[in-house]
């Protein structure tokens, strides 16, 4: 099938949701962004799980949908217009009561959106008599917020029935991921522009337009879905680049005694723990059951990431990573950004020192050997760190739609890995001096 034919019969999922949302009309402003479309959290916390019910209707979850599916989604969202308007009214009431009760913990949208929709379905729009109900709802939501998140998680997963339910959800979510038939060539070709130079304002604007097109492309999703079943069409090995210890990628466990050292091998609970560690100073974490359920779906999604822009950013990172070989002179990076990173890495004193050691064939300290091993397979520490940062952005719904931001992220990860190597060498030398 040609690219033109695919474009003619499919619609970007996000555009379908946006059009349907605007068709609802007034009354949902508190659930909408400044431009009138639904907030990201409205989609994540209300539309996807409660209106479209993605776990039961996996045909609605593809990044691109056919005309019949798009029509069904539109009817379903617009058909819930009354409940969505009522949910917006409940959210306004809860926010008012939150201020009156001087509650400051937790992100109101993250915590209240699903509850507001549930209240809208069960009670309709709030009336004057519902002020006491709103206060009771708030006190119930915030009852456990003062307990440490890790403690709550440990107690939650101690219940075998919870783990069984999450495992059943994982099996369903994993089976829902299927690659489409769209070709990947145009996406990879577009990365030449995204990772290339932009010396003028018009070139920079063109690069941004290309990135906007790429994050709407189905290729990153499809490539990640293929990694689940058939890796023969992927341009690199997910084991070789260090994202997985096996290929095809296997479904992750919900809970396991052994931690996975590669990003796509980590258990669901291990990923949740990482989120909690990163989010200790943040107040917008959802509750633990929601966090675990979302992470099940995220761990089954292509590349272990739900958002299309994060999936696209990871593919860009893989393409950069496989071009980075600080210890050799034979690799010629295909992208300008990768060439700049390669040159910067090779100028590092510890890299020059390692190259001399290897050329001389002298004895190598075990800690220095570890750094040399990382340099010899630079994609592994690089993608391990990039995936972790993208996972954090995916959880917090922080966008990757600005091409300069994505390029800065790719550069920053290389710099972070290099600093880590430097610190290891420094620690080794300090131990030698102390000895």
SS3 (DSSP) at 38 = strand
Instruction: Quote the pLDDT of residue 236.
Output: 96
Residue 275 near residue 295, CB atoms below 8 Å? yes
- Max CA-CA distance within the chain? 83
Q: Does the pLDDT value for residue 138 go beyond 70?
A: yes
Q: CA 274 to CA 260: how far, in whole Å?
A: 13
Instruction: Quote the pLDDT of residue 3.
Output: 41
Average pLDDT score over residue span 92-107? 83
**431 class by beta-carbon count within 10 Å (0-12 exposed, 13-18 middle, 19+ buried):** exposed
Q: Which of 102-116, 228-242, 356-370 has the highest mean pLDDT?
A: 228-242
Instruction: Quote the pLDDT of residue 212.
Output: 96
Q: Does the pLDDT value for residue 147 go beyond 60?
A: no
Higher pLDDT, 330 or 36: 36
| pLDDT class of 360 with cuts at 50, 70, 90 | low
Instruction: Quote the pLDDT of residue 428.
Output: 60
Torsion-angle region of residue 248: left (phi > 0), alpha (psi -120 to 50) or beta?
beta
Q: What is the pLDDT of residues 261-312, one digit of tens each?
A: 899 999 999 999 988 877 755 566 788 999 999 999 999 999 999 999 999 9
Question: Residues in the chain, how many?
Answer: 435
Q: How many CB atoms are closer than 10 A to CB 388? A: 16
Q: Considering Cα of 214, then 216, then 217, then 218, what sign does the dihedral take?
A: positive
Instruction: Quote the pLDDT of residue 353.
Output: 76
| pLDDT class of 333 with cuts at 50, 70, 90 | very high
Q: Considering Cα of 294, then 240, then 325, then 368, what sign does the dihedral take?
A: positive
| pLDDT class of 354 with cuts at 50, 70, 90 | confident
Torsion-angle region of residue 230: left (phi > 0), alpha (psi -120 to 50) or beta?
beta
Q: Does the pLDDT value for residue 118 go beyond 80?
A: yes
149-157 and 288-300 are packed helices; what angle lies between their axes, rounded to 10 degrees?
70
Q: Which helix (H) or strand (E) holds 386?
A: helix 379-396
Q: CA 344 to CA 326: how far, in whole Å?
A: 9
Q: How many CB atoms are closer than 10 A to CB 180? A: 15
Average pLDDT score over residue span 133-151? 76
Average pLDDT score over residue span 181-192? 94
Of 404, 400, 403, 380, residue with least CA distance to 390? 400
Q: CA 170 to CA 168: how far, in whole Å?
A: 5
Residue 84 near residue 148, CB atoms below 8 Å? no
CA distance between the termini of the chain: 67
Instruction: Quote the pLDDT of residue 6.
Output: 40
Instruction: Quote the pLDDT of residue 63.
Output: 84
φ, ψ for residue 329, nearest 5 deg: -105, 0
Instruction: Quote the pLDDT of residue 370.
Output: 74
Average pLDDT score over residue span 314-325? 96
Instruction: Quote the pLDDT of residue 2.
Output: 42
Q: CA 407 to CA 337: how far, in whole Å?
A: 8
Q: CA 355 to CA 353: how far, in whole Å?
A: 5
Residue bearing tokens 């007034």: 26
185-194 and 403-434 are packed helices; what angle lies between their axes, rounded to 10 degrees?
70
β-sheet bridge partners, residue 38: 32
What is the model's pTM?
0.75
Residue 371 near residue 350, CB atoms below 8 Å? yes
| pLDDT class of 128 with cuts at 50, 70, 90 | confident
Tokens of 276: 């909690």
């Amino acid at each position: 099938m040609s690219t033109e034919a695919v474009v003619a019969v499919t619609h970007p999922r996000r555009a379908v949701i946006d059009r349907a949302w605007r068709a609802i009309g007034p009354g949902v402003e508190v659930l909408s962004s400044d431009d009138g479309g639904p907030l990201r959290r409205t989609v994540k916390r209300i539309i996807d799980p409660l209106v479209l019910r993605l776990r039961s209707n996996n045909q609605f979850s593809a990044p691109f949908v056919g005309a019949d599916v798009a029509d069904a989604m539109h009817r379903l969202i617009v058909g819930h217009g009354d409940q969505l308007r009522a949910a917006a009214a409940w959210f306004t009431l809860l926010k008012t009561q939150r201020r009156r009760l001087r509650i400051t913990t937790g992100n109101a949208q993250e915590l209240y959106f699903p509850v507001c929709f549930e209240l809208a379905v069960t009670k309709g729009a709030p009336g004057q008599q519902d002020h006491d109900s709103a206060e009771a709802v708030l006190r119930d939501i915030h009852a456990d917020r003062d307990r440490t998140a890790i403690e709550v998680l440990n107690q939650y997963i101690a219940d075998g029935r919870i783990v069984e339910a999450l495992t059943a959800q994982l099996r369903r979510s994993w089976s829902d991921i299927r690659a489409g038939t769209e070709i990947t060539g145009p996406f990879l070709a577009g990365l030449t522009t995204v990772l290339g130079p932009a010396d003028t304002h018009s070139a920079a604007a063109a690069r941004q337009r290309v990135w906007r097109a790429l994050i709407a492309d189905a290729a990153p999703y499809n490539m990640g879905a293929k990694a689940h079943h058939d890796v023969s069409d992927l341009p690199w090995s997910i084991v070789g680049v260090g994202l997985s210890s096996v290929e095809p990628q296997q479904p992750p466990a919900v809970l396991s005694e052994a931690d996975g050292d590669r990003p796509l091998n980590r258990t669901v609970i291990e990923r949740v723990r990482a989120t909690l560690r990163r989010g200790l100073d943040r107040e917008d974490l959802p509750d633990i059951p929601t966090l675990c359920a979302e992470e099940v779906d995220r761990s089954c999604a292509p590349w272990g990431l739900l958002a299309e822009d994060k999936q696209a950013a990871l593919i860009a990172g893989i393409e950069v990573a496989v071009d980075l070989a600080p210890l050799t002179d034979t690799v010629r990076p295909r992208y300008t950004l990768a060439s700049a990173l390669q040159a910067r890495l090779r100028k590092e004193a510890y890299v020059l020192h390692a190259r001399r050691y290897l050329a001389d064939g002298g004895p190598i300290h075990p800690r220095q050997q570890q750094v040399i091993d990382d340099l010899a397979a630079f994609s592994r520490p690089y993608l391990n760190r990039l995936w972790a940062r993208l996972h954090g952005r995916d959880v917090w719904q922080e966008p990757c739609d600005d091409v300069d931001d994505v390029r800065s992220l790719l550069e920053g990860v290389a710099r972070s890995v290099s600093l880590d190597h430097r610190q290891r060498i420094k620690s080794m030398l300090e131990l030698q001096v102390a000895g």
